Amino acid sequence: MSKHRFSSWVAWRLPLSKAESVRPNQRMKRIYLILIDFVLPLPMTALIYWLWYRRTGSRLFPAYTLTLGVLFGYIFPGIGTNVFHLWKFNGPFKMGNYFIHHGFMYAPYLALVFYVAFPAGAPLTVGNIVRILMSAGFIQCVLSCHHDTLGVATGMIEIASSPGTGNLSPVETVTRFGLVGFWLAGATYSASCLFAYRAIVVNAQSNGMTFVILLAIGLALMSIAALQYAFGQRALLLGFTRKVKL
């Protein structure tokens, strides 16, 4: 690790202020984020691949669930942070305003939520599909709001918005624009994976072209969540940084 990256890592882990230093829970929040965002993504990716392979017997389907999450995690946050500057991430191992491994911060957790919401052997009836999408959206919304609230509170995430709205707590900052977008992320990801499950596992369509087409469909569906998240934030034209109460 380079000296610059090591310094960045240490600076993010240490308290940012005297006020923060007398609040031990701030350090615990950072340790939690380090575990979730830097330590677990790659092991979780391997674990989720194995879980889906064990359940479906297909090597292509778990590859699809993870590839879709990785692409989504690189493309849309990359545009939001480095092109439109709607938000940025602080910490080590960055390229521009987000992390080098950003796609892998999304993929295993999206796939895990879908794994939990889609019981083994459940038939793809209309009722089951609706239940899976609703459940996955709700779980993803709760987990993402929790993560981003801690990220804002510790300074790992900075969100752009109008300064005219006054000081907001981390919870208010995230939930003002994130609830629908996070739910849509879980629901559209799960819808994409259900479509792929039917094609790859049920109908045994395992050729490369099908895989690419399914990925394109998945990214198109998930772009709905990304667009809602960005426009819901209402920062595209404002470009100001909100001061957050810690």
What's the domain range around 99? 3-233
Specify the pLDDT at position 163.
Answer: 55
Torsion angle of alpha carbons 95, 91, 39, 179, nearest 10°?
Answer: -90
Specify the pLDDT at position 183.
Answer: 95
**Mean pLDDT along residues 103-126:** 95
> Shortest CA distance to 245 belongs to which of 174, 168, 160, 152?
168
Q: Extract the runs of DSSP E, i.e. beta strands, from 142-239.
A: 157-159
Specify the pLDDT at position 164.
Answer: 52
What is the overall mean pLDDT for the chain? 83
Q: 3-class DSSP state for residue 112?
A: helix
Any domain includes 38: yes
Least confident of 66-80, 88-102, 196-210: 88-102
Any domain includes 243: no
pLDDT exceeds cutoff 90 at 15: no
Say how far apart CA 188 and CA 20 lie, in whole Å: 38
Say how far apart CA 24 and CA 40 lie, in whole Å: 23
pLDDT exceeds cutoff 60 at 59: yes
The answer to whether 29 and 154 have CB atoms below 8 angstroms apart is yes
Any domain includes 244: no
Any domain includes 240: no
Any domain includes 246: no
pLDDT exceeds cutoff 80 at 241: no
The answer to whether 138 and 117 have CB atoms below 8 angstroms apart is no
Which one is predicted more confidently, 83 or 188? 188
Any domain includes 152: yes
Say how far apart CA 139 and CA 132 lie, in whole Å: 11
**Mean pLDDT along residues 116-125:** 94
Any domain includes 241: no
Specify the pLDDT at position 96.
Answer: 86
Specify the pLDDT at position 97.
Answer: 86
In order, the DSSP letters of 32-67 are HHHIIIIISHHHHHHHHHHHHHHHH--SHHHHHHHH
Any domain includes 239: no
CA angle 75, 219, 151 (to 5 degrees): 50
pLDDT digits (tens, 9 = 90+) for 127-153: 999 999 999 999 999 999 999 999 988
Say how far apart CA 53 and CA 200 lie, in whole Å: 12
pLDDT digits (tens, 9 = 90+) for 184-225: 999 999 999 999 999 999 999 989 999 999 999 999 999 998
- The count of domains in the chain is 1
